[in-house]
Amino acid sequence: MSSSLSSSPTSLHDPLFPWLLKIRKSTEDVCSGRTSGEDLDELLYECISTYKEDPRYRNDVRFLKICFLYLEGSEDFESVYKEVEENEICIGHSLLYEWYATFLELKGLWIRAHLVYQTGLSREAQPFDRLKEAHSFFLQRISKRTKPSSLVKVGETLFVNPWETSTVDGLILKIKPQLLKYDGYYATNRAFPSKANLSFLQNFSRNKIIDIGGRKYQIKGCAGQGGFAQVFKACIDSNPDEIVALKVQKPPFPLEFHMYRQLDRRIPENQRSSFGLAQRVHMYSDCSILVCDYLSHGTLQDVINSYVVVGKSMEEVLCMYYTIEMLYMLETLHSVGIIHGDFKPDNLLIQYPPKNLTETGFHEKTGSWSNQGLCLVDWGRGIDLSLRTNLGSFRQVDTYGLCVIVHMMLHNTYMEIDKKQSLDGGHVNMPRTSFKRYWNVDLWKELFTKLLNSETCEDDTETLMSLRKSMEAYICSDPKLMDKLNELLAKQRVSLCSS
């Protein structure tokens, strides 16, 4: 780098500026054929290594562009993106997700692109409206490349867009007669009866009392907020013993209530509490308000974060326990023709029994263990296969989500996938990060091998059951493991419920 550049007022104030000039010059040389791309790659790598931990450039779009210029020319693009994520470079900016999702889309990795958009939306990256619009256009492009009545193989998987607005609107119209018959479904053509109905979401304040369908709800606070809805904790008639969750969504969205009522019909009674319970829904012309049971013990994401903040990984037996819970959930759902579609730790609520856990009942999930575990909520992206039989491949969205969660529990990092050589000389998709030698490596390898390499259209129920039973047998084979699990769950309950 020339001394005139490095000592200029601009470079002293902004050390990245001279690099930008040099990168521009190198890019021009590559385009004109004067130099090879290797020189540019080395320059980009050196720049990223120098400033990736510099807080001045953490939210600098110029530096993000440098990272993506390097990513686009790298065979190992996933590790480059991982480094961007780990150093929190522009994670609050929509361009991070737009650019990477577009890059994946061009490679035919449509499912991964969709998940990247979802990550950005869940983080409410700004400008949020721009990101929502980019995601909407992405879904429209995917829809145009597929036939409504068939699955088309592109790149890594089969993809049909079940969430396109026109598709969802058509489905709602189709099930409307059924919706009207559901217990707890209340609809009106009027707007929500508020003096400021367009902004009432923001005006929900603590202890404010609102009337919904003739019932009084006292708002106790915001329990969660996403790109499409807000969830409030509320008491019915100011009774602290009757606490519910109010999910307020604009525009109104009745399909989630349909999913809850289908869960009521299809899930066995002894497992029903593991999938969230909806009491009623009120449909207005400008919004919908879904009234659900409220669970106060946090999410699986909270559990994972409790280990991340102290620089530790979750103990293997606890990882395995939650993996068993998730396998059982997906086994149950997929066997009755239901796909969740947004399987992530934020949507998995923690449940605890009213009494201490006993030594018996773990394997059969009876006694105190029947109320211990996880509860899957947020069914807004759920798929009812009885209505859309051509979307069976989307079971993989659930199982891929499970693998991502397991990887986070084991390693405290997002999952990256490599193609690794298999025993038969072929290749299989596997996580890049190695398993620790003192873990039960065979069980973890079996889980990732089967779930990351399954055929897109196959029924995965038997696979999920087999994996679950293998892990249950391992934990039950050693009383010390059961004791350790009980101890960890008790400690977790005290820690999270008091925080």
The region, left, alpha or beta by phi > 0 then psi within -120 to 50, assigned to residue 435 is beta
The domain over range 300-498 is classified in CATH as 1.10.510.10: yes
Boundaries of every domain in the chain: 15-144, 182-293, 300-498
Q: For the purposes of burial, counting CB atoms within 10 Å of the CB of 322, is it exposed (0-12), middle (13-18) or buried (19 or more)? A: buried
Q: What is the pLDDT of residue 143?
A: 60
User: DSSP letters of 464-483?
Assistant: HHHHHHHHHHHHHT-HHHHH
Name beta bridge partners: 431: 417
What is the reported pLDDT for 258? 96
**Dihedral angle of Cα 55, 58, 59, 62, to the nearest 10 degrees:** 110
Q: Which two tokens stand for residue 37?
A: 């791309």
| Omega before residue 162 within 30° of 0, cis | no
DSSP one-letter string for 103-119: HHHHTT-HHHHHHHHHH
pTM: 0.70
Instruction: Give every CB contact of residue 415 below 8 A, 6+ residues apart in sequence.
Output: 403, 404, 407, 408, 431, 433
CA–CA separation, 45 and 374 (whole Å): 43
Look up tokens 């209505």; give the residue: 387
98 DSSP assignment: H
Cα 66 from Cα 35, distance rounded (Å): 19
Please give the pLDDT value at position 415: 83
CATH classification code of 182-293 = 1.10.510.10
Sign of the CA dihedral with 185 first, then 191, 195, and 201 last: positive
Task: Output the furthest CA–CA distance in the chain (Å, rounded).
Answer: 77
Closest CA to 213 of 294, 291, 293: 291
Place of tokens 């807004």: 380
At residue 208, the pLDDT reads 84
Type of residue found at 411: H
pLDDT per residue as tens, the chain (499 positions): 333 334 444 455 789 999 999 998 888 777 766 776 788 888 999 999 999 999 999 999 999 999 999 998 887 888 899 899 889 999 999 999 999 998 888 777 777 888 888 888 878 899 998 998 888 888 777 665 544 433 444 444 445 567 777 778 888 989 999 999 999 999 999 988 764 443 555 555 677 888 898 899 998 888 877 666 889 999 998 888 899 999 999 889 999 999 999 999 999 998 999 999 999 999 998 899 999 999 888 899 889 988 887 888 899 999 999 999 999 999 999 999 999 998 999 999 998 876 666 666 677 676 667 778 899 999 998 999 998 877 777 888 899 899 999 999 999 888 888 778 777 777 788 998 899 999 999 999 999 999 988 876 568 999 999 999 999 999 989 989 988 998 999 888 887 765 5
Structure tokens at 215: 């019932």
Q: Does 18 sit behind a cis peptide bond, omega within 30 degrees of 0 on the bond before it?
A: no
Residues 6+ apart with CB under 8 A from 375: 273, 274, 275, 276, 295, 348, 349, 350, 351
Paired strand residues for 247? 231, 290
Instruction: Give the pLDDT confidence score for residue 56 in this predicted structure.
Output: 92
User: Per CATH, which fold does 15-144 belong to?
Assistant: 1.25.40
Position 100, amino acid: Y
Predicted confidence at residue 456, as pLDDT, reads 60
Does 300-498 match 182-293 at the fold level?
Answer: yes
The pLDDT value recorded for residue 145 is: 54
Q: Supply the DSSP symbol for 82.
A: H
Among the listed residues 14, 76, 169, 342, the single catalytic one is 342
Active site residue 342: yes
